Amino acid sequence: MPKDEKQIHCQLCGRAKRLTFHHFVPRFCHSNKWFKKRLTREQMQQGIDLCKDCHKFLHKQFTEKELGRELATRKAMLENETIRTFIQWVRKKK
């Protein structure tokens, strides 16, 4: 198993899968002035462990800036209707 993957439950869908770390503020945005003015380095390093299905979905569905500005917490993600719909669907997958 690669070093950056863990086997526990996804923090969005709850499925037991291999997980990867998702930065709430994507690394691409860490050098962006908007983020640097508003967030500390520690805040930009925060994130959650996601299964590959959830991680891939987030990055396909939302831009890097949308993820960092609007979906920068687990709570914000779970309140998003698009993400909630996806979670309901992906939980049915094996």
27 SS3 class: helix
Position 1 scores a pLDDT of 45
Position 25 scores a pLDDT of 76
Domain ranges of the chain: 6-90
H or E stretch at 56: helix 52-61
Low-confidence residues of the chain, pLDDT below 50? Answer: 1
Position 72 scores a pLDDT of 87
Give the global pTM. 0.80
Classify strands 6-9 and 16-23 as parallel, antiparallel or unpaired. Answer: antiparallel
